[in-house]
């Protein structure tokens, strides 16, 4: 199995992540390793992970099920991650159109990071990556998704920061 994450010995206390239970991540990647690893990482914290091996299947899932975060590989056969995120960003319902998204790719394309951000992704992460950085970025966007969907949750975060 290829190394997509560098082992840093990062151990996050599961109690810190209880607030994310019940949220859903959709992972879109043509790599079966990634489709196994990401659910393995986040499901232990109570975060539901749905996987899709291509952009077409992912788009159908997005239209039918509530998703709080997208993690999308850019370099997939047929329809790539750019086309998927552009289709999502063109949808009418704001809660679907504005789903936070991470471009998670091993693509060596020139200026792939800038192109990903310009296409509608909030964050670009190059494979392989540091596991702690990956988890941190995912949790930041899940927090953003929670604030956007539930004003009460937003107030909780404001109180917590006081």
Q: Say if 3 falls within a structural domain.
A: no
Phi and psi, residue 124, nearest 5°: -115, 130
Q: Say if 26 falls within a structural domain.
A: yes
The total number of structural domains in the chain stands at: 1
Q: Report d(CA 102, CA 135) in Å as an integer.
A: 12
pLDDT band at 18 (very low <50, low <70, confident <90, very high): low
Q: Say if 1 falls within a structural domain.
A: no
Cα separations in angstroms, 88 against 25, 48, 74, 81, 132? 15, 20, 14, 11, 28
Cα atoms found within 13 Å of the Cα of residue 99, Cβ hemisphere only: 32
pLDDT band at 102 (very low <50, low <70, confident <90, very high): very high
Q: Say if 62 falls within a structural domain.
A: yes
Residue with tokens 């994450």: 5
- Whether residue 138 contacts residue 42, with contact meaning beta carbons closer than 8 Å, is answered with yes
Q: What is the mean pLDDT of the chain?
A: 82
| Domain assignment of residue 153, given as a range | 13-160
Q: Look up the CATH number of the domain holding residue 86.
A: 3.40.50.2300
Q: For the segment 54-83, what is each residue's pLDDT rounded down to a tens digit?
A: 999 999 999 999 999 999 999 998 999 999
Q: Say if 7 falls within a structural domain.
A: no
Give mean pLDDT, residues 99-109. Answer: 89
Q: Say if 8 falls within a structural domain.
A: no
């Amino acid at each position: 199995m290829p190394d997509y994450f560098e082992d840093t010995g990062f151990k996050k206390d599961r109690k810190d992540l209880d607030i994310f239970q019940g949220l859903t991540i959709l992972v879109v990647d043509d790599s079966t390793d990634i489709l196994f690893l990401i659910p393995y990482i986040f499901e232990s914290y109570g975060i539901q992970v749905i996987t899709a091996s291509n952009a077409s299947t992912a788009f159908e899932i997005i239209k039918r099920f509530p998703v709080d975060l997208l993690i999308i590989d850019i370099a997939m056969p047929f329809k790539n991650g750019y086309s998927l995120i552009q289709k999502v960003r063109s949808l009418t319902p704001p809660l679907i159109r504005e789903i936070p998204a991470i471009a998670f790719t091993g693509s060596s394309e020139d200026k792939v990071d800038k192109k990903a951000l310009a296409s509608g992704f909030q964050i670009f992460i190059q494979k392989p990556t540091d596991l702690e950085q990956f988890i941190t970025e995912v949790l930041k966007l899940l927090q953003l998704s929670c604030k956007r969907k539930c004003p009460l949750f937003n107030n909780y975060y404001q109180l917590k920061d006081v």
